[in-house]
Amino acid sequence: MGRTSDAREKILSAARSLIELRGYSALGVAEICKTAGVPKGSFYYFFESKEALALTVVDEQWAGQRRAWERVLHGGAAPLSRLRLLFEETEAGQRAGQQSCGTVAGCLFGNLTLELSNQSEAVRDRLQGIFEAQVEMVESVVAEALGRGEVSVTDTRAAARALVAQLEGQVMFAKLYNDTDRLGPLWANCLALLGAPAPRVSAAGA
Amino acid sequence: MGRTSDAREKILSAARSLIELRGYSALGVAEICKTAGVPKGSFYYFFESKEALALTVVDEQWAGQRRAWERVLHGGAAPLSRLRLLFEETEAGQRAGQQSCGTVAGCLFGNLTLELSNQSEAVRDRLQGIFEAQVEMVESVVAEALGRGEVSVTDTRAAARALVAQLEGQVMFAKLYNDTDRLGPLWANCLALLGAPAPRVSAAGA
pLDDT of residue A203: 40
CA distances from A43 to A8, A12, B82, B143, B148 (A): 8, 10, 54, 56, 63
A43 has a pLDDT exceeding 80: yes
**What distance in Å separates the CA atoms of residue B29 and residue B15, rounded to the nearest whole number?**
9
Counting one residue from chain A and one from chain B, the pairs whose CB atoms sit within 8 A come to 139
Quick check: A160 contacting B, CB < 8 Å? Answer: no
B190 has a pLDDT exceeding 80: yes
**ipTM score:** 0.92
A3 has a pLDDT exceeding 80: no
Judging contacts by C-beta atoms under 8 Å, the chain B residues touching residue A21 are: 118-119
| Closest residue, chain B, to A22 (C-alpha) | B119
How confident is residue A204, by pLDDT bands cut at 50, 70 and 90?
very low
Tens-place pLDDT, residues B100-123? 989 999 999 999 999 888 889 999
* Rg (chain A; Cα; Å): 19
pLDDT of residue B20: 87
Task: Give CA B4 to chain center in angstroms.
Answer: 29
Tens-place pLDDT, residues B117-157? 888 999 999 999 999 999 999 999 999 999 999 999 999 99
Judging contacts by C-beta atoms under 8 Å, the chain A residues touching residue B162 are: 166, 170, 185, 189, 192
**What distance in Å separates the CA atoms of residue B189 and residue B167, rounded to the nearest whole number?**
9
Contact B187, B84 (CB under 8 A): yes
Percentage of chain A with pLDDT > 90? 83
| Range B167-171 average pLDDT | 98
pLDDT of residue A20: 87
Judging contacts by C-beta atoms under 8 Å, the chain B residues touching residue A127 are: 176
Quick check: B158 contacting A, CB < 8 Å? Answer: yes
Task: Give CA A183 to chain center in angstroms.
Answer: 14
**What distance in Å separates the CA atoms of residue B89 and residue B67, rounded to the nearest whole number?**
13
A157 has a pLDDT exceeding 50: yes
DSSP A16-80: HHHHHHH-STT--HHHHHHHHT--HHHHHHH-SSHHHHHHHHHHHHHHHHHHHHHHHHTSSS-HH
B201 has a pLDDT exceeding 70: no
**What distance in Å separates the CA atoms of residue A176 and residue B74, rounded to the nearest whole number?**
27
Interface test mutation site (partner A, options B156, B166, B175, max chain A beta carbons within 10 A) = B166
B37 has a pLDDT exceeding 90: yes
Q: What are phi and psi of A148, to 5 degrees?
A: -90, 5
pLDDT of residue B21: 83
pLDDT of residue B125: 96
CA-based nearest distance B2→chain A, Å? 35
Tens-place pLDDT, residues B82-95? 999 999 999 999 99
Contact A180, A95 (CB under 8 A): yes
* Rg (chain B; Cα; Å): 19
Q: Which amino acid is at B20?
A: E
**What distance in Å separates the CA atoms of residue B11 and residue A200, rounded to the nearest whole number?**
54
Please indicate whether residue B183 or residue B1 has the higher confidence score (pLDDT).
B183
CB contact under 8 A, A176 and B26: no
How confident is residue A5, by pLDDT bands cut at 50, 70 and 90?
low
Q: Which of B159, B119, B113 is nearest to B139 (CA)?
A: B159
| Range A181-201 average pLDDT | 87
A168 has a pLDDT exceeding 70: yes
Interface test mutation site (partner B, options A118, A121, A151, max chain B beta carbons within 10 A) = A118
Quick check: B96 contacting A, CB < 8 Å? Answer: no
Tens-place pLDDT, residues A81-121? 999 999 999 999 999 999 998 999 999 999 999 998 888 99
Contact A86, A157 (CB under 8 A): no
Quick check: B115 contacting A, CB < 8 Å? Answer: yes
Q: Domains, chain B, ranges and CATH?
A: 1-47 (1.10.10.60), 53-199 (1.10.357.10)
pLDDT of residue B205: 39
A15 has a pLDDT exceeding 70: yes
**What distance in Å separates the CA atoms of residue B25 and residue B118, rounded to the nearest whole number?**
13
